Chains A and B, each alone.
Chain A
Amino acid sequence: MGRYMLSRSLRALLTIFLVVGFAFTILRLSGDPAMMILSADAPPEAIAAFRKSWGLDAPLWQQFWGYLLNIVQGNFGVSMRDASPAMGLVLEAIPATLALALPAFAMNLLIGIPAGIFAALHRNSWCDRLVMSFSVAGHTLPSFVLGLLLVLIFAVSLGWLPSGGFSGFEHSILPILTLTVGGAAVLARYTRSSMLEVLGQPYIRAASAKGLRWSQVVIRHALPNAALPIITIAGLMFGGLIAGAVVVESVFSWPGVGRLTVSAVGNRDLAVVQAALLLITVSMVATNLVVDAIYCLFDPRLRASSTSHH
């Protein structure tokens, strides 16, 4: 277990490094921040001065090295727009993102997993097909389309809920709903296939032959074995929600990390983008690590052989 987690942690650090490095490079190669911030018809000397003051005229590797040194000291740079600390801006946006992510995640679990289990237990019946149809619909509908549809129905036509903004509980209902539909659909599908795979195993029939009632077989033998892949998917979904449901936040003008990242990229506000990316990567990677640890703890076969040799 220990060695397993150590190797996973090292890989996690490498992932963070690669993501940040990649973003760093792309941002500087894909457009000139100076022109974005100062506007296109600023005089060339002003642009040059801007670039020099932000260190943008130095070679790429030198900029990256400087950036790494700064990070290690806790300095994540400042926004090019208003000189406020980049990481501060990102951290301010986190509560808003969590206000969507946590309820949406809970709903995903509460709706998606039971739906998947139910569908698996009643395989090929009309209930199963109904649940799966909803799942496919929820899965394939792009989140912005769904978001806009919900706005259209509930905000514009019915006027029950506001279409955007951040000033009250009712503002969060539509965005949470949008996030839930997609997430629950995915979770239902994976839960169903994981359950079906387990239900087809010989030990399920053997458990019935022991004299357990079907409900006991499902609860004591099927669910624990089906749980592991579901935990993985759920964990990854959570990481994605934390990363800031970029699209949903944009549609609903929700001031979370996702919307901040999008506008910072548009403005080539390098430090903010990098700070946001760093945070998002760290949270995704951390979630993965936790999922790995859970897997290791709960699957006895993994515990015995911590790393494979072939």
Chain B
Amino acid sequence: MTSTAFASNPLLNISELRIAFDQRGHTSEVLHGVDLNIAAGESIGLVGESGCGKSITWLGVLGLLGKHTHVTGSVKFQGRELLGLSDTELSQIRGRKIAMIFQDPSSSLNPAQRIGAQIAESLSLHRGLRGAQANAEVLALLDHVEIPDAKRRMNAYPHELSGGMNQRVMIAMALAGQPDLLIADEPTTALDATVQAQILLLLDTIRRETGMALVTISHDLGVISEISDRVLVMYAGAIVESAPSQTLFTEAQHPYSLGLLAAMPALNVEVHRLTTIRGSIPQVGQLIQGCSFEARCDFAQENCRDRSPALKTIAVGHQLACTRKLAA
């Protein structure tokens, strides 16, 4: 499907992943068949707006979606199928093999527990460290994520630390299990611009040092382009384009990708009017005949409404789901 580097032995292989929610009697599908592969040590980015499914995909992979959801398809991690595993079996993979950090770090930490204890919990759970050994490792992790004055900060509560600090704590907690894959869900969205720069640099450095794979989820194309080697653009529950970072930004093909790229010009470019994508995002779970982007697309043709376009390879490493462009 993609380049030969990982065709043989991907770290993670997701195939035809569909997620549906039960809501008041009827079932609505919110993710419509996602395929993707991640190689060991690779950094990919998922970009899209609300309802596109970029976060739900990973909550589904880790089994964090709760009772009234149907997750179908196949998710193979290091060769092992994850869908269908019990909660107990999955809990051995969460944190230990696949870790996840969330958007608002301050509310993702237990407000009634000191941060040192929360990191120590991961250490005890995944590496069996306790007592003085655990404390030493907590300090080491806090240093690693560049939290100054770690000895004192260890005993702080989350509300005593800033958003940026809390995000570092979350990263430290995620690293405690020494995972092979880290999923970062909007890691910088809730943070100030100057702190955002620090956190991105930290994530990138850690990834290179530990060799773990990184999935970055964001609505900000700029953030993704900095930290990811490969970018997947999602819209309304499906991947519409996937390409290496550089290729996407110079040779994007999907009208939605182009729209996102044009939405906010760089500082040194002066425009009179911002290019917009007309209309709005479809309701989550809404059934759409044909291409889900058709209603907002300036290039829509008659046959775009016939069926939903499948993701096809158009160049090495570059995939696209667009009826019009693929017709040629």
Contact = CB atoms under 8 A, between A and B. Distances in A.
Contact between A and B in the complex (any CB pair below 8 Å): yes
Interface of A: 201-203, 205-214, 220-221, 224-225, 298-301, 304
A208 B87 CA distance: 10
Given A300-B157, A301-B157, A212 B108 contact: no
Contact of B126 (A211, A213, A214, A301): A211
A300 B96 CA distance: 30
A209 B177 CA distance: 11
Chain B CB count within 10 A is highest, among A203, A214, A299, A300, for: A203
Interface residues of B, number: 31
15 contacts: A201-B107, A202-B104, A203-B108, A203-B109, A206-B108, A209-B94, A209-B99, A210-B122, A210-B125, A211-B126, A212-B95, A225-B112, A300-B111, A300-B157, A300-B159
A201 B99 CA distance: 19
Interface in B90-106: 91-96, 99-100, 102, 104
B52 interface: no
Contacts of A214: 87, 91
Nearest to A217: B91
A211 B104 contact: no
Given A210-B173, A300-B157, A301-B159, A203 B122 contact: no
A194 to B, nearest CB: 13
B159 A304 contact: yes
A201 B102 CA distance: 12
A300 B173 contact: no
B92 A206 contact: no
Contacts of B122: 210-211
Contact of A212 (B91, B159, B160): B91
B62 interface: yes
Chain A CB count within 10 A is highest, among B91, B104, B126, for: B91
A298 to B, nearest CB: 7
Given A209-B100, A210-B125, A300 B110 contact: no
Contacts of A209: 62, 64, 94-95, 99-100, 102
A213 B110 contact: no
A298 B64 CA distance: 29
